[in-house]
Amino acid sequence: MYKIVSIPGDGIGPEVVAGALAVMNRLAEKHGFTIAIEEHPFGGASYDLHGEMLTEATLEACRNCDAVLLGAVGGPKWESLPHEHKPEAALLKIRRELGLFANLRPAKVYDALIDASSLKADVVGGTDFVVFRELTGGIYFGQPRGYDENKGWNTMVYERYEVERIARIAFEAAQKRGGRVTSIDKANVLEVSQLWRNVVHEVHRDFPEIELSDMYVDNAAMQIVRNPKQFDVIVTGNLFGDILSDIAGMITGSLGMLPSASIGKSHALYEPIHGSAPDIAGQNKANPIATIASVAMMFEHSFCMPDIANEIYQAIETTLAEGLRTADIANAGQSAVSTTEMTAAIVKNLGQ
Ligand code: NAI
Ligand code: MG
């Protein structure tokens, strides 16, 4: 039995999470396993109920489950709250409390959506890689930091254990994927990158069957756009990963298609990349695919069921090939389906 905590949050969060739960329930039925889904308030929805974006009760539930599924948080209603009550503060707190040190962002191009990319079809066709971004170290957290009138400073620091643990899960992922890891750094300029590179190569000794290459971050930015098919697993630090994962995501087209996972030693949280989309909230227009694909990542990384993950990706691919499009991915003049219609079609394509 798998215990999943669902925190749908605000705006389109509940709409897209409902789609993802429908997919989960169908898979459980089809394959005969049990999932218990417990829903908890989070974000603005929680603030309105309890005066806090993230209550201790929600946090405790997240600590005691196999995986967390998050929709999105925030919206105009809560924008003027003081910093400590802002949705971003709640997101950072949940990641920190659960010890989620790796952020995974796949860049996967669906054949049916090849024309949605801003790059040429023959460049993006067949792209399927994942970025492992270190999430709790590096320049975003290093001390000292500060600024005065004449100077601003931050510190990029990595400790050996921080590099070791993310390198290890990147190599493990490569074992189940295409067997290749590209480690991205700036070792020609930064000492912190020299440590990064040394430690990644040390961890590689435990994975001799995996092909490891190093790449400078500036070259990587070019290569992702020039020939994205060359990558399988990318592993990199917090700052470089922040930028590269956004470049990688956009290769595939729409925000409504992009899933993510944040993983730690004993917890994991899955969520779409996008926000709460207040402009379309409550209208049954949101694309549920990013959240449904986040469930695929859950089966792959938390439950070690890559075959089920592939079933989900396949059902998405089939549904797109049938021509169904939510408004965000519809071509001009094409009529769009609703969130619930897209969900129903994907559930149907999962089969009995
Ligand atoms: P957003 O991602 O919510 O929306 C940007 C644009 O993309 C909007 O036009 C929206 O309609 C569209 N869009 C997003 N997801 C879509 C989907 N699944 N289907 C169809 N269209 C979709 O980003 P925005 O507007 O900057 O932020 C809105 C709110 O969400 C803010 O309060 C922000 O703080 C919050 N936010 C929360 C995040 C999270 O929970 N992780 C991440 C980013 C923003
Ligand atoms: Mg970013």
271 neighbors 69 (Cβ within 8 angstroms): yes
The predicted-structure confidence for 278-330, as pLDDT tens digits, reads as follows: 999 999 999 999 999 999 999 999 998 989 999 999 999 999 999 999 999 98
Half-sphere exposure (CA, 13 Å, Cβ side) for 28? 17
CATH number of the domain to which 172 belongs: 3.40.718.10
Q: Which of 110, 186, 232, 270 is the catalytic position?
A: 186
pLDDT computed for residue 315 by the predictor: 98
| Distance between CA atoms of residues 199 and 240, nearest Å | 17
Q: Virtual CA dihedral for 64, 66, 71, 75, nearest 10 degrees?
A: 20
The predicted-structure confidence for 169-208, as pLDDT tens digits, reads as follows: 999 999 989 999 999 999 999 999 999 999 999 999 999 9
> The domain containing residue 157 runs over which residues?
105-255
* Within-domain flag for 310: yes
* Within-domain flag for 262: no
Residue with CA nearest ligand 1 atom 34: 74
Predicted confidence band of residue 89 (pLDDT cuts 50, 70, 90)? confident
For residue 303, the CA-to-ligand 2 centroid distance in Å is 27
Do 43 and 133 fall within a single domain? no
Kindly state if the Cβ of 286 falls inside 6 Å of ligand 1: yes
Do 47 and 113 fall within a single domain? no
Kindly state if the Cβ of 328 falls inside 6 Å of ligand 1: yes
**Tokens standing for 121?**
């079809």
Atom of ligand 1 minimally distant from the CA of 79: 32
Tell me the whole-structure pTM to 2 decimals. 0.94
Residue with CA nearest ligand 1 atom 30: 275
Task: Identify which ligand lies nearest to the alpha carbon of 337.
Answer: 1
| Residue 77 labeled ligand binder | yes
Kindly state if the Cβ of 72 falls inside 6 Å of ligand 1: yes
Do 282 and 351 fall within a single domain? yes
Average pLDDT for 9-26: 98
pLDDT computed for residue 352 by the predictor: 79
C-beta atoms surrounding 273 within 10 Å: 17
* Within-domain flag for 3: yes
| Distance between CA atoms of residues 308 and 101, nearest Å | 25
13 neighbors 337 (Cβ within 8 angstroms): no
| Distance between CA atoms of residues 221 and 259, nearest Å | 21
The predicted-structure confidence for 4-14, as pLDDT tens digits, reads as follows: 999 999 999 99
180-185 vs 2-9, strand pairing mode: unpaired
Active site annotation includes 218: yes
Q: Which residues, chain by chain, have CB under 5 Å from ion ligand 2? A: 242
Q: Which residues are bridge partners to 235 per DSSP?
A: 132, 183
Do 55 and 116 fall within a single domain? no
Active site annotation includes 66: no
Do 113 and 93 fall within a single domain? no
* Within-domain flag for 173: yes
The predicted-structure confidence for 27-80, as pLDDT tens digits, reads as follows: 999 999 999 999 999 999 999 999 999 999 999 999 999 999 999 999 999 999
* Within-domain flag for 192: yes
Asked which of 255, 289, 320 is the last residue of a domain, the reply is 255
* Residue 253 in this model has a pLDDT that exceeds 80: no
Atom of ligand 1 minimally distant from the CA of 70: 40
ipTM surpasses 0.90? yes
Among 46, 100, 255, residue to substitute to test ligand 1 (most atoms within 8 Å of Cβ): 255
Question: Which residue has 């950072």 as its token pair?
Answer: 92
Predicted confidence band of residue 84 (pLDDT cuts 50, 70, 90)? confident
Asked which of 189, 224, 255 is the last residue of a domain, the reply is 255
pLDDT computed for residue 92 by the predictor: 86
At a CB cut-off of 8 Å and minimum separation 6, what does 331 contact?
115, 325
Alpha-carbon separation of residue 3 from 17, 58, 62, 65 (angstroms): 16, 14, 10, 5
- Please tell me the total count of domains within the chain: 2
Average pLDDT for 97-101: 96
Do 112 and 201 fall within a single domain? yes
Do 115 and 207 fall within a single domain? yes
* Within-domain flag for 260: no
Q: Name the average pLDDT for the chain.
A: 95
Q: Which residues are bridge partners to 7 per DSSP?
A: 70
Q: Which of 10, 185, 232, 242 is the catalytic position?
A: 242
Do 177 and 240 fall within a single domain? yes
| Residue 142 labeled ligand binder | no
* Max intra-chain CA distance, the chain: 66
Do 152 and 233 fall within a single domain? yes
* Within-domain flag for 53: yes
Do 212 and 282 fall within a single domain? no
At a CB cut-off of 8 Å and minimum separation 6, what does 251 contact?
107, 109, 117, 119, 124, 127, 224, 225, 228
Q: Which of 48, 161, 218, 265 is the catalytic position?
A: 218
Kindly give the interhelix angle for 87-97 and 56-63, rounded to the nearest 10 degrees: 40
For residue 280, the CA-to-ligand 1 centroid distance in Å is 9
Kindly state if the Cβ of 269 falls inside 6 Å of ligand 1: no
Do 178 and 119 fall within a single domain? yes
**Tokens standing for 304?**
């070690």
Asked which of 255, 283, 311 is the last residue of a domain, the reply is 255
pLDDT computed for residue 251 by the predictor: 87
Active site annotation includes 186: yes
Kindly state if the Cβ of 255 falls inside 6 Å of ligand 1: yes
Q: Which residues are bridge partners to 213 per DSSP?
A: 182
Q: For the ranges 35-44, 113-122, 258-267, which has the lowest average pLDDT? A: 113-122
281 neighbors 75 (Cβ within 8 angstroms): yes
| Distance between CA atoms of residues 85 and 53, nearest Å | 7
Active site annotation includes 246: yes
Do 273 and 227 fall within a single domain? no
DSSP alpha helices (H): ranges in 235-305? 238-251, 289-301
Half-sphere exposure (CA, 13 Å, Cβ side) for 349? 20
* Within-domain flag for 261: no
**Tokens standing for 43?**
């974000």
| Residue 246 labeled ligand binder | yes
* Residue 242 in this model has a pLDDT that exceeds 80: yes
Kindly state if the Cβ of 13 falls inside 6 Å of ligand 1: no
* Residue 221 in this model has a pLDDT that exceeds 90: yes
| Residue 256 labeled ligand binder | no
* Residue 115 in this model has a pLDDT that exceeds 90: no
Kindly state if the Cβ of 277 falls inside 6 Å of ligand 1: yes
Question: Which residue has 């590209």 as its token pair?
Answer: 182
